[in-house]
Every structure is written in structure tokens, then in C-alpha cells.
Amino acid sequence: MHSSFSIHPWKVIQTRFTLKEQRFAESLMSLGNGIMGMRGNFEEHYSGDHHQGMYLGGVWFPDKTRVGWWKNGYPQYFGKVINAMNLIGLEVWVDDVQIDAAILEVIRFHRELDMQSGILLRNMCVKTQKGEVEIIAERFVSMADTACIALRYKVIPSYDATVRISAFLDGDVHNEDSNYEESFWDQMDTGVKDDNPGGYLLSKTKENPFGTPRFAVAGAYEIKTDMELTEQSATEALVQSEFVKRVKAGEGAALDKIIAVATDRDYQGDQLISIASNKARDAARLGYEALKMHHVAAWANKWERADVTIQGDDAAQQGIRFNLFHLLCTYTGDDARLNIGPKGFTGEKYGGATYWDTEAYCFPVYMATAGEQVARQLLHYRHQQLPGAYHNAAQQGLPGALYPMVTFNGYECHNEWEITFMELHRNGAIAHAIYNYTSFTGDTSYLYQEGLEVLLGIARFWAGRVHYNKRTESFMMHGVTGPNEYENNVNNNWYTNRIAAWCLDFFLDTYIQAPEHRKRGLKIGEDERKWMREIADHMYYPVDSERGIFVQHDTFLDKELMPVSDIKKEDRPLNQNWSWDRILRSCFIKQADVLQGMYFLGHLYDLGTKKRNFDFYEPMTVHESSLSPCVHAILAAELGYHDKAVWFYHRTARLDLDNINNDTEDGLHVTSMSGSWLVIAQGFAGMRTQEGLSFHPFLPADWVSYSFRFEYRHRVIRFEMGEDGVRLTLVSGEPLPIKVWDEPILLEGSWRKGRASV
């Protein structure tokens, strides 16, 4: 952990303020409720380097992408999440001194994110010429009323002084990564309230040339305070209420700011101001403490289902709770139009859109901790965007459905050719999520309804993308990028070919078992199905028989092969120190590629095959994708490399807390945060669900115990592993046959077995 932060099992605590760590701390201290979220910015003015960020789920803008070397098939735009109005803003003066931690000397500082309650608290003391001024600020983004944000702010001078606070909403905001010099927003209306302190602001995204929606957002606030209201004003992009109070030394001036947000994704545009204003009024009448109580209770319900406990390693415990906290902040499953952006509500990098990360990494975590209905929402999200996937394939002159690499609405909106139209393997992650849902829940209703339509579109795409090679009498795919993005435009990436063949098999097997009326509705003939089976049975796979491994792509072994340990320390991370040309020509692997197949399709390969491939590829992997360490941890655990698995777990769980990739200041790696739960459940506990529920657990060295709760086939099960062995408890539901260390048991009530059996 950074020197100014400390380790705590339920909190992220910053004990010292430094200018250079402000962006890093803002990322760590982010808050959200699945509908909206914000970075951990100061409420009051801060003139130093920082990233002011407030984001709303499903509100985005199609940024221009057209360049001089435009190619047919490029997407029209690059979709990105856009920074919304500053809702928490305050300007604070003590006498004639503005409170600004970038200018004034900070003599004491304590800030903590309480992950158990979802509350951010800051206690800061600055020095002025007359003495000291203490700031106490607390806020939360309500998990109970997801339209509301509440903050409590107090100023305590050590001397007699006049305190002035201006509370405002500011619509003049910008994205840091924008191609445009102007804002993404048009300001439509502002106003103040007549009967009590407060105001509203209405903004609408600018006109765009791509026919995508324009979004309107209204923010409103009310103030509760014993300070004197001196003025309220509203200009084009700013509405504010100013207060004053004369205080004696040690006395405080305080206010509660209650904010509500409404968008035209949920309400009629002409009603947004009244809806936001009414929500703010009702919340203010309820009061800060009552709002906080409901919010804390909502978080308690979340943690009851999702918490993972670790005894004996506080860093590991803090890491997984930090990751689970931000996953819960980002997605709740309440709205099927929303998904999980790689940065969640913590930053703008990667556009804030949906990637294959959701299905490959996040999906199984939400399914086990939030329930199958939430998982089904994620599946429904992809089904409702199936027309966009057909459009994406047609843009490339191909049949079937190509799910986008990056999207808000189903249409591809990412403009890097080598990623967008070569990294085709993401289609496989969509199909695998359907398989994962069906095998985990035992529910085939989605598979034979919406799922079958999705699988057909994916199968038709793969069948159209391959070509037949007469020399090898097999089907190939050229010009692709595998999960390892440090190699582009390769031929016969093993993972891409393998997942394509698996998708074809999965569709065809599902079709055979589907009800007759569903088959008729698909309009696929016997000849087309035979052709798909021919492709799946005769797909080309590069292999090295001498090493007994699958070769990452046709020419991978032609490279100069060397381990990561040969790289100079000052060259890491490669993506920040080497040219792209040098990276592409090297053997070094950004993330699991062949090993991604060993993870996804692990039930199809024996331990020997997994071990040979792991031993060959892992030493060349730099793990400069946040998605990489968890896959390696799970495989390492299965292979008995327990110390290595624990090392990878720490890298997964503490990636952002320890700023391992030196990029946390851009925002958190939200989608890869799911990896820490996957390592605990699938790695250390050895949980598998492809062919019934089974466990092969071990206890990491120096750990006393770990435990987690999960939902499985209408049952709630608690798993515990400690020094005295493993315990499984059926919390609710019917008895269930399972296996532990390959021993069949019937789980009813509580079952325990000592470690001596390991």
C-alpha cells in the first residue's frame, strides 16, 4: 500500500495529503449506486491537478473518429461516457481566505472510504494566517434511493471568523479525453427555488451527426442549515445558493446538501426539472440522517450476499472487499439497459462502454452473489442488442452476428482496427456466458428462447469468417487478434479458432435439444447445420507436438522466446516504455491467450495439457492487462502451484490499491475486480459447475481461513475453509448432491471434512 494509505479490512484510509497522489486517491475513493457515480473529489474548490468526474449510467456521446485513412467497415464514431454536471460543488471562505488544499498548508488530513456502509468521510485541517480551519465532510451516493446524493459539510475555524459557503450545481464540465474543445453539453435551463434554499439545472447533450440519442439530465438540490441565506442566483450553466455565519473560535458552520438527478432515459424531458426538484425536496424533508440510515441498510443487504471473509491476511481481505465494493457500486442488475464499463463510474478511459469483460469475468460473479435474475439481465442486455451485432457483421461483408468490442447500444463504437475487427474472440465470450448460465442455474428457458437466437447469429458469423485450406484439409482464420493484444493481425490464433469451433458445437448441440417450435422459428436448414459441423470438426489448430502445447498462432514459435525475467526492471510496464513496434515483435504476452482457453474450456482438457501450456506461456506473460492475473491464479491453483496462485491473487485483488500497473489515477479497473472473487471461489476453493457442483479446496499458507456465500440452483450455500478443514452449509433450499475432493456427498444442513484428506 502507498505510504499515505493504510490497510484496514473494511476501509480505505488515507492518512496524509500529497498533491501528487490526488488523482490516485480520487479513483480509490469513488462512490456509486449502479445508476450513477463519482470520483472522490473534494467538495470545495481545489486548484491543483485532479480529475473532476461525475458519471450517469447509460448517458454517453458519439465522439468523432473519422480520419484521413478511413477504411470501409470502420465504425462511425467512438462512443464514450461523458462527464456530467458537478453536483457536489461548494465554494468555502473563512473571512477573506478561500479554502483550497492546493494553496493552503494542509497540517492534518484523514480520509476514509467505509466500504461496509458506502460512506466517504474526510477530516482536513488547513493553516491560514489567523490560525487553523478544520473541514469535516461526509457524503454518500444513495444505494436506497438511487436518484439521490447527500453530503454533510462542516467548517470549524480555530479563531473568530465569518464563514461563507456557496453551494452550487455547475454544468460547465468537460471530458479529459475529448476530441472536442467544447463541452458535450448544451445548457437548457437553470433556476432557484422560492420557498427554501435550492435550485435546479437542466442540461442536454449536444446535437451529433450520427443519429444517436441526445440525453437530457436535470439536477436539483436543497440545503438544510442554520447558516443565513444571503443570495441565490442562476446563470446559463451555474445555479448557486450562498450562506454566511459568524462563528466564534472552535464553533462550526455546517450544511447538508441533498441532491437528486433525473434523466430522459426514465422520464419525459419536459418533466425532468419537476421530477428532480420533487425528489430533492422529498429527500431533504426526510433528512440527512434518515437518508443515511436507509443507505447503510441497503449496503448491509448487498454485503450479506456478496461478502468474502479472509482471516490471517488483512491486505488480502481489504483487497477483495475493495473490489466487491466497486463492482456493487457499478452494477446492480436493476436496469437491463445498463452494463459494466471497465472503469465503472471512476473515470473516462476505455469510453465507459461494454466490453467482453462483462461475460468473461463479471458474469459468473454476479450470478453467484446477486442471483440468477441479475445474471439474466446481463444476458438480456446482449439479446436486445442482437440487431446491432448483425449490423456489425454486415459492415464487414460477413453473415451472422458480430458482437461489438465496445458498445453502448449494440453497434460497434471503437476505432482501433486491430482490436475492433480482429479481436473476434469476444463473440465466444457471449456464447460462453449462455453456457455458463445454463450449467450453473440448471435453467434452460433462456437457452432455448433468446439464447438460441444469439447462438445462431454467432455460429453463422464464425462459419462465414473461416476459410478452407486445401493443403491442410482444415478451416482457418487469418487476420485476427487474440486476447493477447501485444500481437495483432496474426493467422490462426489458437484461442480464436478453438472458441469458434466450440461455439459452433454448442449451437448445434443446443439446436438438437431445443423444442420443435423454436427450431422452426430459426429458419436454418440441414445443409447449413452440416456445414457448421464440418467446420467445427475440421478446424485448424497450431500445435507443437514436441513440447505438447497449443501454439498461440502460426508464427509464434518463430519469435525469440525468453522469459519476462529477462526484461530490465526499468522497461516495465512495456506499454509505457517500449514502442508499439517493439512490443508487437516480442514474445511477451499481455494477458492469458492460450491459457484463456484452458480456463474457459477447462472441463475439456486434462491436467497434463493445462500444465504444459501453463509452464510454457506463463513465464512470457507480463500481465499488463488487468484481466490476466486472475486466470493464471485459477489455473495455478488447479495445478497445485499454490504459492504462485496466492501471488496472482494479491496482484488481482490489490491491482488498484497498490497501483501495480501505474495507471490507477485514470480510474479503477472495475471489470477485472471480479477476478479476485473468481480466484477465491474457482481457484482456492476449486469450485466447478460445468458438470454439477464440486470443490477441490486448499488453504493458502499464512491464512487462517476464508469463506464466501453463493447462490446455486435456488439454494444458498456457505463455503468455509480453515485450518481444521472445509465446511459447507446449505443455508436454504433443497438438499443437493455435490463433490468435495472427488467424494460424492449429499449436502443437507452442514457438512465438514478435515484437511487431512487433502
Q: pLDDT per residue over 654-688, tens digit each?
A: 999 999 988 999 999 999 999 999 999 999 999 99
Q: Cβ–Cβ contacts within 10 Å for residue 744, how many?
A: 10
**Spans of all domains in the chain:** 5-304, 312-690, 710-757
Distance from the Cα of residue 630 to its chain's centroid: 15
pLDDT given at position 70: 65
Is residue 758 over pLDDT 60?
no
pLDDT given at position 68: 58
Catalytic residue among 26, 485, 618, 638: 485
pLDDT tier for residue 382 given thresholds of 50, 70 and 90: very high
For 512, the 3-state DSSP assignment is helix
Is 534 among the catalytic positions?
no
Give residue for cell 474472440: 425
pLDDT given at position 363: 97
Is residue 625 over pLDDT 90?
yes
How far is residue 321's CA from residue 11's CA, in Å, rounded to a whole number? 9
Is residue 324 over pLDDT 80?
yes
Q: Are 347 and 32 in contact (CB under 8 A)?
A: no
Q: Are 175 and 82 in contact (CB under 8 A)?
A: yes
Give residue for cell 502460426: 554
Over the Cα atoms of the chain, what is R_g? Answer: 27
Is residue 603 over pLDDT 90?
yes
Q: pLDDT per residue over 384-442, tens digit each?
A: 999 999 999 999 999 999 999 999 999 998 877 777 889 999 999 999 999 999 999 99
Q: Can you state the angle between helices 494-513 and 452-465, rounded to 10 degrees?
A: 140
Q: Can you state the angle between helices 372-384 and 386-395, rounded to 10 degrees?
A: 40
How far is residue 434's CA from residue 426's CA, in Å, rounded to a whole number? 13
The rounded percent of the chain whose pLDDT value lies above 90 is: 90
For 717, the 3-state DSSP assignment is strand
Is residue 316 over pLDDT 50?
yes
The rounded percent of the chain whose pLDDT value lies above 70 is: 98
How far is residue 75's CA from residue 445's CA, in Å, rounded to a whole number? 34
Is residue 756 over pLDDT 80?
no
Most confidently modeled range among 61-75, 213-227, 344-358 = 213-227
* Average pLDDT taken over every residue of the chain: 95
Q: Are 104 and 97 in contact (CB under 8 A)?
A: yes
Helices (H), 442-493: 445-446, 452-465
How far is residue 225's CA from residue 288's CA, in Å, rounded to a whole number? 11
Mean pLDDT of 711-720: 98
pLDDT given at position 66: 62
How far is residue 485's CA from residue 552's CA, in Å, rounded to a whole number? 12
pLDDT tier for residue 193 given thresholds of 50, 70 and 90: confident
- Which CATH number is 5-304's, of 3.40.50.720, 3.40.50.300, 2.70.98.40, 1.20.1640.10? 2.70.98.40
* Among 55, 369, 73, CA closest to 215: 55
Mean pLDDT of 116-131: 98
pLDDT given at position 508: 98
One-letter amino acid at 569 equals K
192 DSSP β-pair partners:
199
For 748, the 3-state DSSP assignment is coil
pLDDT given at position 106: 98
pLDDT given at position 745: 96
pLDDT tier for residue 76 given thresholds of 50, 70 and 90: confident
Tell me the helix, strand and coil percentages in the chain, rounded to 5: 35, 25, 40
Topology of 312-690 in CATH?
Glycosyltransferase (1.50.10)
pLDDT given at position 757: 43
- Residue 716, φ and ψ in degrees, nearest 5: -115, 125
How far is residue 474's CA from residue 497's CA, in Å, rounded to a whole number? 11
Mean pLDDT of 176-191: 80
